[in-house]
A and B are shown apart, each in its own frame.
Chain A
Amino acid sequence: MAEGTEVGGVHEPRRPGRGPSPASAIGVYVIVLIVLQIFLLTVAIDAYHEARAGLAWGAAATSVALAASAGALVWLLAER
């Protein structure tokens, strides 16, 4: 099936440059990442209240790994 849209019986070809781009995808990825970071911060605060240092450090390690991977991904994409 050919790409494009059917508008009023007229087939409109898909124009280049339209639709999601890699930059949009990385934007969505980073937004999801921020949501995860907020979740991990709440986990760490909860661990603080319960005095569970192991859980707090686990959340911190995951948070740092996520931030580092996001930075590396953005850097790699910028290099291309």
Chain B
Amino acid sequence: MTGTGPPLDDRPSGTGPAEPEEPIWRRDFPYTTAGEDEVTRREFVRYMVLGSGAFALGTVGVAGLTSLREPARGEPRPVVERGRLRPGEAYLFRYPSEDDPAILLLRPDGELRAFNQKCTHLGCVVYLDADADELVCPCHEGGFSATTGDVLYGPPERPLPRIAVEVRDGLVWAVGVEDG
């Protein structure tokens, strides 16, 4: 009997390196077993490690963006007439942007102080407790000095960012956010 039938492997010869393809028996027997397509434990671990690497890259990216982000210092602008302020009272305004609440204080000794009004713990707005002469955060009972903005008690760990102010022609001007 001569071999006149089709060859077992009907791939054209001389077409370069053999590409990984399914074995011949699978074409003749095209059935899969249950669980054949499931991810093995080893593959699962590999995917998770790759995921971990992706998270690490994402964290590095966020850190890079943080380095590029310059904290807003603000442009000088008038806040309020000096004559409208009374000693021991607070005046609320927004600086350096409309999204940044700030608080201006005229101290009993006549000094002007201004701070960002957002608590450095979790961002609640602080208010002036005139009796205690403190800036108090009502959310978690944090307290800041009304003179320096330093933390007096509670969960905050950083002082309130201070805003430089000066009086020009009877107007109180905010001239920039100082480094903490």
Contacts and interface: CB of A to CB of B under 8 A. Distances in A.
Contacts of B48: 27, 30-31, 33-34, 70
A17 to B, nearest CB: 14
Contacts of A52: 66
B23 to A, nearest CB: 25
B63 A44 contact: yes
B56 A67 contact: yes
Given A47-B66, A67-B53, A23 B42 contact: yes
Nearest to B67: A53
B45 A23 contact: yes
Interface residues on B, range: 20 to 34
B52 A30 contact: yes
B71 interface: yes
B59 A40 contact: yes
Contacts of A60: 56, 59-60, 62-63
B62 A66 contact: no
B44 interface: yes
B62 A27 contact: no
A48 B56 contact: no
B153 interface: no
Given A37-B56, A56-B67, 7 more contacts: A34-B55, A37-B52, A40-B55, A56-B63, A64-B60, A71-B49, A74-B45
Interface in A22-80: 23-24, 26-27, 30-31, 33-34, 37-38, 40-41, 44-45, 47-48, 51-53, 56-57, 59-60, 63-64, 66-68, 70-71, 74, 78
